[in-house]
Amino acid sequence: MWFVNLGFSQDRGWEFHGVILDDIVVTNINRNYLANVLEDDIANSIRELEIKAAQHDVSNSYKFDGRDEAFKVWHVGSEGYIGAYYDKEGVILSTVEKYKNVRLPKHIRNAVSVEFPDWLVDQSHYTVYYDRGKSSDKTYKVLLRKGNNTRKLKLDSEGLMKY
């Protein structure tokens, strides 16, 4: 036995009362900074700190007084810090970033293990120097250990040795 109920899902007796919302413009004024410094396989702690620096609103800082000259802010994370200079609009002008004993990206680990098999990474340091309008300088310093022997390496972000 079949039961069929026909009806209209729309009631034509109601009125629409719309609400007009203010326009909201979402922008990332520091997208150039992020495009220059973020790496695909970077440690999450570094990624999170760089994004935090890019999203920082200087106008909410208790030290910011609206002045025209660069304004320095320190962003500190679990493995390092970023010293960032912002203009009065919140655009990052330059940064100095230093991180200690972070997980090395896979391509850096591979470059080291190919060149120095049987050596273990004892310490790692990662530095980034960003200057708006220029390319950023990213350097890994790695201390290797094999028994009582140690070796210091300096690599760029591509995994190539720097001398």
CA 144 to centroid of chain Cα atoms = 27
- Structural domain includes residue 140: yes
Mean of the pLDDT values across residues 13-41? Answer: 74
- Structural domain includes residue 26: no
Mean pLDDT of the chain: 87
Mean of the pLDDT values across residues 113-139? Answer: 95
- Structural domain includes residue 144: yes
| 25 has a pLDDT exceeding 70 | no
CB–CB of 86/58 below 8 Å? Answer: yes
Structural domain that includes position 112? 31-156
Distance (Å) of CA 106 to CA 13, 19, 85, 91: 64, 51, 31, 31
CA nearest neighbour of 63 among 93, 37, 86: 86
pTM of the model: 0.79
Long-range (24+ apart) CB contacts under 8 A made by 82-87 are: 82/49, 82/50, 82/53, 84/53, 84/56, 86/56, 86/58
- Structural domain includes residue 51: yes
- Structural domain includes residue 21: no
pLDDT tens digit sequence for 75-107: 999 999 999 999 988 999 999 999 999 999 999
- Structural domain includes residue 62: yes
DSSP annotation string for 4-37: -----SS-TT------PPPP-----TTHHHHHHH
Owner of token pair 């025209």 = 68
12 pLDDT band (50/70/90 cuts)? Answer: low
Q: How far apart are CA 112 and CA 132, in angstroms?
A: 31
The count of domains in the chain is: 1
Note the pLDDT of residue 69.
83
- Structural domain includes residue 54: yes
- Structural domain includes residue 2: no
